[in-house]
Amino acid sequence: MTKYRIEKDSMGEIKVPQDAFYAAQTQRAKENFPISDLRFDRAFIQALGFVKQACALVNDDLGLLPDKVAKYIVKATQKMIDGELDDHFVVDVFQTGSGTSTNMNANEVIANRANFMAKQDGVDVKIHPNDHVNFGQSSNDVFPTVIRVSALLAVKQQLLPAMDHLRTAFHKKGQEYVDVVKTGRTHLMDAMPLTIAQQFGGYERQLQLGIERLNSALERLRELPQGGTAIGTGINTHEEFGKRFAEKVSELTGESFTEAIDHFEAQATIDAPVETSGQLKTIAVSMLKMANDLRWMNSGPNSGLGEVQLKALQPGSSIMPGKVNPVIEESVAMVCAQVIGNDATITIGGQSGNFELNVMLPVVGFNLNQSIVLLASVARNFANQSVSGLIVRKDAIAEKIGKNPILVTALNPIIGYDLAAKIAKTAFAEDRPLKEVALKMTDMSEEELDKALDPMKMTKGGFTE
């Protein structure tokens, strides 16, 4: 049987679990929003801890909080940063649009944990969730600040290293097969040849550009709304608070943050998180192409393209013995679909700012972090479980490229488009090697055709000699 205690707030009394560090406002939110099992992740709670800790330290420096109060708030927020209080963050993601319920969840947990530690130390102090932990703050500047801090830290610590790891995996695999020429495809149909290194180099460049796009978006995330309080005017906080807060949270996190140039923009909009989500969507689109290309290249192995052999990781069918499927690529595709869907939610959230406040902050913060963490995890897994271990089937590729009638394109400058088209159609209709047909339909020698129809030479561009 759960034991309860009675807590009070401005609306009266309410029962709260005896061992919970949260109090009345959190309990009301818990009961008011029995919507889902979705809660904020470790990265978001950690960022919220950094924000609350920085606020306490700055207010202490400004002489606005008693030293003893600030000291124990800092101790409690450190527990929060270290992940020791995660179980006490119980409010559903789908809640009040300002995130007030989660802000108060944090304020109550920090206050009660601080009071608990002070009592253990025999220190006579009573810390209040609003008057002390939330001093000089509002949910309206705290929550958008946490969204930015948590997203930036997750991108820098998780996603960017994972993307670079996948980029490196494609580079290494391309170099491993740098001399392998394969049939290119446009519209899923045979086209001019390219090397494995060229194809994988395209993926490498996609990832590099994704990294650059993200780094650019992070510059806007570094501007923090904290210090604007209720609507951006900074009511009930020190005039230097925003600047000092940005300096302090930079010190705590090791990342550079600045005070928002315009607090009304920073609180009334979430344009910076929307931009970041857009870049995450672009990366998801890029990775979806890579995964689908590898699925096609692995298809068969006998009745498909069969150009690569992906690692056999698990049985692929409950009824067809020996079947193996491209499961890693399928997991990548599903993550990419989720991220694209998350971006749609964040886009709708972004346009839901009315006058001085956006009112979809919690779902935006949740989806943004989920997209970052999912992309980081799947990029690393894609590299380790698929790209690094794939084998290029050189013999299967070589057998097909010689029969590719589109290679006749290289003869255009010599024999003209019309004759080249006739040769290609004849080779395809009669299922004969292109060179054999060209020998009969032109006056070119075998040596000249070998030189002109060299697939590797075609991958280097220019004109046929």
pLDDT, position 2: 83
pLDDT of residue 255: 98
At residue 260, φ and ψ (nearest 5 deg) are: -55, 135
pLDDT of residue 447: 93
Q: Which residues contact 43 (CB under 8 A, 6 or more apart)?
A: 150, 153, 154, 369, 372, 373
Give the pLDDT confidence score for residue 414 in this predicted structure: 94
Instruction: Give the three-class secondary structure for 464.
Output: coil
Amino acid sitting at position 439 = L
Only one residue has tokens 């067809």, namely: 320
Q: Is the pLDDT at 382 greater than 80, yes or no?
A: yes
259: left (phi over 0), alpha (psi -120 to 50) or beta: beta
Q: Please, what sign has the CA dihedral across residues 34, 273, 150, 331?
A: positive
Q: What percent of the chain is predicted at pLDDT more than 70?
A: 100
Phi, psi of 49 (to 5 degrees): -65, -45
Q: What are phi and psi of 322, to 5 degrees?
A: 85, -5
Q: Name the architecture of domain 402-458.
A: Orthogonal Bundle (1.10)
Half-sphere exposure in the Cβ direction for 356 (13 Å, CA): 14
Label residue 98 by pLDDT band (50, 70, 90).
very high
The mean of the pLDDT values for the chain is 96
Averaged over 302-308, what is the pLDDT? Answer: 94
200-240 pLDDT, tens digit each: 999 999 999 999 999 999 999 999 999 999 999 999 999 99
Distance of CA 67 to the CA centre of its chain: 40
Average pLDDT of 150-160? 98
- Alpha helices (runs of H) in 94-195, residue ranges in sequence order: 100-120, 139-154, 160-176
Given the DSSP bridges, would you call strands 258-259 and 223-224 parallel, antiparallel or unpaired?
A: parallel
Domain limits, the chain: 19-135, 143-223+269-392, 402-458
Catalytic residue numbers, as ranges: 187, 317
Give me the half-sphere count of Cα atoms (radius 13 Å) on the Cβ side of residue 185. Answer: 12
CATH architecture of 19-135: Orthogonal Bundle (1.10)
Q: What percent of the chain has pLDDT over 90?
A: 96
Q: What is the pLDDT of residues 392-411, one digit of tens each?
A: 999 999 988 988 999 999 99
pLDDT of residue 293: 98
Mean pLDDT of 244-266: 98
Q: What is the tens place of the pLDDT at every residue in 259-289?
A: 999 999 999 999 999 999 999 999 999 999 9
Q: Is the pLDDT of residue 81 over 70?
A: yes
Q: Judge whether 125 and 69 are in contact, CB under 8 Å.
A: yes
Q: Does the structural domain 143-223+269-392 have CATH classification 1.20.200.10? A: yes
Please measure the distance between the N-terminal and C-terminal CA atoms of the chain and give it in whole angstroms: 87
143-223+269-392 and 402-458, same CATH topology: no
Distance CA 112, CA 106 (A): 10
| Residue 465: pLDDT over 70 | no
Residues near 321 by beta carbon (within 8 Å), at least 6 away in sequence: none
Quote the pLDDT of residue 254.
Answer: 98
353 has a pLDDT exceeding 90: no
